[in-house]
Amino acid sequence: MIRSRPIIALTAVAALLLAGCGGKEDNASGPTEIAVWNGFTDASATNFAAMIDQYNKDHPDVRVTQLMTSNDLVLQKVLTAVRGGSPPDVAYMYGSWSPNIAEISTVTDLSGEVSKPGWNWDDFYPAERAAATVGDKIVGVPALVDNLAVVYNKTLFAEAGIAPPAKDWTWDDFRAAAAKLTNSKGQYGTLISGDASEDTVWHYLPMLWGAGGDILSPDNQHAVFNSAAGVKALTTLQQMAVTDKSLYVDATNANGVNLMNSGKIGMLVTGPWDLPSFTDIDYGVQVLPAYPDGAGHQTISGPDNWVIFNNGTQRQRAALDFVKWVTAAPQVAATSKATGELPTRTSVGEDPTLVADLTKKVPGTDTFIENLSNVKKSRPTVPQYPAISQALGQAIVSVLLGTAQPADALNTAAQAADAALAGK
């Protein structure tokens, strides 16, 4: 039977190739299948799976499946899938990627869609809408919202003999408290991630805005963060890191939550997602301080989006309908209840019963929800933002490590940002 062997093997090759090429055909009969890529974990994952089950039960003509991925890596995966011609139908994407996502040709521009009834687009918080908008395009629907506030350790404040921060506190108050909370037993007033990534940068931005500055000129043509306001904000960080040594620069960007939870850090500027991790301490939450002659209490929001890809009209329509359903007020409220995440819609966030309920489960949630109204500015949605962020991140860290002065560092970064904006 020696002669039949090549045929078997060749058939196997052909079968493999066919299998590799399969999966792209449209399901002529049966329900429309759409794939949702997300990186939910723990309670969020359980909640989202339940949402999908619910939707599938109510919509027999559509079958939603999900693919778990890491949120940090989803862009890389989507890029690969787009190049390969088989993108997901819906993907959970960070808002900071919006300008780059806008360049993908199969991403659905929702600008004509969201004004239709049923979306209630204006019910989403302004910061969320801004993060989903790139020029005249809308590239996603808000999936998650957060913001930064100060989480402080009540016990350490009492030990140091400081009153808990008030709503109208200033960055001078913050610095003074940080200094008092620092001691020789390895306790620090506060902590910042010093890996020069966007994580470092977005802790600096609300200080920059609060001091009255901005990242780019209104026409997004050149950098203006090296203004007097920018220098002032960075000087605050410099004073704490270099002069007072009350600011712990966490080079690895991995220790903040653990150190806070073990009572080594007095105040941590962070978002609502970290609250459930602070199980070992008695904490309070307060809005970010202000500069007396600045632009008031501000914060920054990093909303994430559901991005919809066009894989044929039928699947696109199904994807739109699913996203519309999952981001509608009842589902937003249910998600917040199940996961403790901040509601993405104003109507839900203003429901006092829900807010009280959330705050009972996770203390401090009410402050974070209120703080959403302190989101007055957003990061510019320009494709060069990653380069600008990187330049700014290096500037901030060089000052924190004591190797540069704020004005010089920001000027250097502004030059790099301008070069990136000019297209080199």
Beta-sheet pairing, 283-286 with 149-153: antiparallel
Least separation in angstroms between CB 6 and another protein: 4
Nearest to 131 by CA among 123, 122, 118, 140: 140
Burial 281-299 (b: 16+ CB within 10 A, else e): bebbbbbbbbbeebbebbb
Give yes or no for a contact between 299 and 206, defined as CB atoms under 8 angstroms apart.
Answer: yes
Of 32, 47, 100, 374, the one binding another protein (CB under 8 A) is: 100
Number of residues this chain uses to bind another protein (CB under 8 A): 48
* Contact with another protein (CB under 8 A) among 162, 386, 407, 411: 386
* 205 touching another protein, by CB under 8 A: no
Contact between 188 and another protein by CB under 8 A: the answer reads yes
User: Residue 257 or 387: which CB sits closer to another protein?
Assistant: 387
Q: In what order do the strands lie in the sheet with 304-308?
A: 62-68, 32-38, 90-94, 304-308, 141-144
> What angle do the packed helices 228-238 and 406-421 form, to 10 degrees?
130
176 binds another protein (CB under 8 A): no
Q: Does 1 sit near another protein (CB under 8 A)?
A: no
Q: Tell whether residue 196 is a contact of another protein (CB under 8 A).
A: yes
CA dist 245 and 242 (Å) reads 5
Maximum CA extent, the chain: 91
Pick the binder of another protein from 220, 253, 359, 412 (CB under 8 A): 253
CA 366 remoteness from chain centre: 19
CB 103, min distance to another protein, A: 4
The residues facing 221 across adjacent strands are none
Per CB under 8 A, does 330 bind another protein? no
Comparing CB distances to another protein, the nearer of 27 and 80 is 80
Is residue 12 close enough to count as binding another protein by CB under 8 A? yes
Whose Cβ is closer to another protein: residue 67's or residue 387's?
387
Q: Which is nearer to another protein, 12 or 163 (CB)?
A: 12
Residue 48 C-beta: closest distance to another protein, Å: 25
Nearest approach in angstroms of CB 244 to another protein is 15
| Residue 122 contacts another protein per CB under 8 A | no
Q: Are 132 and 98 in contact, with CB atoms under 8 Å apart?
A: yes
Q: In this structure, are strands 90-94 and 32-38 parallel, antiparallel, or unpaired?
A: parallel
Q: Within positions 391 to 410, which residues make up the interface with another protein, using CB under 8 A?
A: 394, 397-398, 401, 403
Decide: is 281 part of the binding site for another protein (CB under 8 A): no
- Residue 422 interacts with another protein (CB under 8 A)? no
In the complex with another protein, the residue whose CB is nearer, 82 or 329, is 82
Contacting residue, 105, 279, 313, 353, with another protein by CB under 8 A? 105
CB 66 within 8 A of CB 37: yes
Burial-class residue 359 by CB neighbours within 10 Å (0-12, 13-18, 19+). Answer: middle
- Count Cβ atoms below 10 Å from residue 173 Cβ, excluding itself: 16
> Do residues 355 and 349 lie in contact, with contact meaning Cβ atoms separated by under 8 Å?
yes
- Among 31, 126, 284, 383, indicate the residue that binds another protein (CB under 8 A): 383
Contacts of 240 (CB under 8 A, 6+ apart): 175, 178, 179, 189, 190, 246, 247
- For the chain, report the end-to-end CA distance as a whole number of angstroms: 67
* Neighbour tally for 398: CB within 10 Å: 18
Q: Kindly state whether residue 76 participates in binding another protein, applying the rule CB under 8 A.
A: yes
Applying CB under 8 A, which part among 50-58, 150-158, 191-199, 272-280 lies near another protein? 191-199
Contact 208, 197 (CB under 8 A): no
Q: Which is nearer to another protein, 12 or 49 (CB)?
A: 12
Question: Within positions 282 to 321, which residues make up the interface with another protein, using CB under 8 A?
Answer: none
CB of 338 to another protein, least distance (A): 29
Q: Can you give the binding site for another protein, defined by CB under 8 A?
A: 2-3, 5-10, 12-13, 16-17, 20, 75-76, 79, 82-83, 100-101, 103-105, 186, 188, 194-197, 248-255, 259, 264, 383, 386-387, 390, 394, 397-398, 401, 403
